[in-house]
A and B are shown apart, each in its own frame.
Chain A
Amino acid sequence: MTTYYSEEHEWIAVEGDIATVGITAHAAEQLGEIVYVEQKDGGDTFEKGDEIGVVESVKAASEIYAPVNGEIVEANEALADSPATLNESPEGDGWLYKIKLSNTDQLNDLMDLDAYKAFIA
């Protein structure tokens, strides 16, 4: 499994053509306490840059943009009732989607952990 990071502060952990997507710990920290998550449904397809969800903190709403093209296999429905999981475990239990990648070449445009760390430094 390889994990990539986007400039929009998402992580994407890839195994074959299936990946898990979420927001980074840095993003969760910046957003503050998350009180609401709006997600797409399984089966929805999207292209890189499409809005695929909204995360709202006490302060403000922030859109989630797709880091790659794909199709939603599963949304983490537990977040609807416990949005705070996104703060507690943004890169673990707070995952947003399992997706099926439709263009794995796009992964080359993303960052690895070291590059992401440098990006947010």
Chain B
Amino acid sequence: MADAPKRTPLYDLHVELGGKMVDFAGWEMPVQYPLGIMGEHKHCRAKAALFDVSHMGQVILKGENVGAKLEALCPQAFSTLKEGKARYGFFTNENGGIMDDLIVSNAGDHFFVVVNASMRHQDIPHMAKYLDGIEVIEIFDRALIAVQGPKAEDVVGNLCPGVRDLKFMETMIGAINGVECRISRLGYTGEDGYEISIPQDGAVEVARAFLADENCEPAGLGARDSLRLEAGLCLYGNDIDNDTSPIEASLIWAIQKRRREEGGFPGAERIQQEIAEGTSRKLVGIRPEGRAPARQGVEVQSEDGKAIGVVTSGGFGPTAGGPVAMGYISTDSTEPGTRVNLMIRGKAQPAEIVSLPFVQQNYKR
């Protein structure tokens, strides 16, 4: 029998705000608030939205040469990650597939890692087993809140002015209403914004302080998914998994040059070979021409009816103003502008291969 879903420190606040609560990866989370997915999504792109992402796994890694040791599990250059900087990465398996994606921050006397809610049960033992001499501490007493959108700098900066000076993928410690938080300028919506790790006892107070700003509305998992999809960001379990390599997933940008050349991470043989020779399929954007959304699992065919791929994430993009999708397509059909058919409920719906993202990313570089 499954365990009862867990609740984040913000659970009561979600209910108070009218959040529609659903079970997600073993957590009771708001999928939307009364504003609705569409309204929350647009509000995030126009002003700012607050997301509870406390279900994600927060981990502290302590010990000598943490960055170098992490390089044995991930193809990222973490040994050269400077203090105060964060970097996107992923754990790879022996076959070069992706075990999970994560954000790693160098917090000075330790590394701070955030992994997916659905994979924390895997990732934490994985790190504990392979990071020799490193203390792997899973954090259970902190909330994680994302404030995202063009007004996020004001929403957070009005309470903690120092965050205005952070650049994209930088992290700092700052006090918000007297509560000491880890504040990182990053997120997963394609917008500027912050993720803020807060001691659980102060989390509701800090969330309320953000929401007191007229520019900031609460947003749920529904908007989070449509925002990341429009931004062309992969969702673990949909777009990337143990069978997809980072090269197939068009994530080569996240493997730094030295690591591409030197290898020394699980699955390096396949990944280096794919860097040199290419892959037979690639993750690309797909733009349906009509109104019908193409959801995960929809088959993609060439115009002459040959199966050439599958949709891994798809839905309606409120900012794009129509359906958007991503999926794996045979590499010879991935040129932007290539016309394809999406087999939705047995009917061929015309679509076009497009470059990702669907909306411009607005990071503060």
Contact = CB atoms under 8 A, between A and B. Distances in A.
A78 interface: no
Given A58-B315, A59-B31, A59-B37, A36 B222 contact: no
B9 interface: no
A58 B226 contact: yes
Contact of B318 (A58, A61, A80, A83): A58
Contacts of B292: 36, 38, 56
A58 B37 CA distance: 7
Contacts of A59: 31, 37, 222, 315
A58 B315 CA distance: 6
Given A54-B345, A56-B316, A59-B222, A33 B36 contact: yes
Contact of B37 (A33, A36, A61): A33
A32 B38 CA distance: 9
A36 B315 CA distance: 10
Given A35-B291, A36-B292, A58 B316 contact: yes
Given A56-B316, A58-B318, A32 B37 contact: yes
A44 B230 CA distance: 37
Contacts of B318: 58
Contacts of A58: 37-38, 41, 222, 226, 315-316, 318
Give the contact-size bracket for chain B: 10 to 19
Given A58-B222, A59-B31, A61-B293, A36 B345 contact: no
B32 interface: yes
Interface string A60-81: 1100000000000000000010
A104 B168 CA distance: 65
Interface string A40-66: 000000000000001011111100000
Nearest to B221: A59
A32 B32 contact: yes
Most chain B CB within 10 A, of A33, A54, A61, is at: A33
Contact of A33 (B38, B291, B293, B323): B38
B295 interface: yes
A80 B291 contact: yes
Given A33-B38, A35-B316, A61 B295 contact: yes
Interface in B225-258: 226
Contacts of A57: 37
Nearest to B40: A58
Most chain B CB within 10 A, of A35, A54, A60, is at: A35
Contacts of A83: 291
B21 to A, nearest CB: 14
A71 B157 CA distance: 61
Contact of A56 (B31, B38, B222, B293): B293
A36 B291 contact: yes
B37 A38 contact: no
Nearest to A59: B222
A83 B323 CA distance: 13
Nearest to B31: A59
Contacts of B41: 58
A60 B226 CA distance: 12
Q: Which 9 A-B pairs have the closest CB atoms?
A: A35-B316, A58-B37, A33-B38, A36-B291, A58-B316, A56-B293, A36-B292, A33-B36, A59-B222
Interface of A: 32-33, 35-36, 38, 54, 56-61, 80, 83
Given A58-B38, A83-B291, 4 more contacts: A32-B36, A36-B316, A54-B345, A56-B316
Interface of B: 31-32, 36-38, 41, 222, 226, 291-293, 295, 315-316, 318, 323, 345
12 contacts: A32-B36, A32-B37, A32-B222, A33-B36, A36-B292, A56-B292, A58-B38, A58-B315, A58-B316, A59-B315, A60-B295, A83-B291
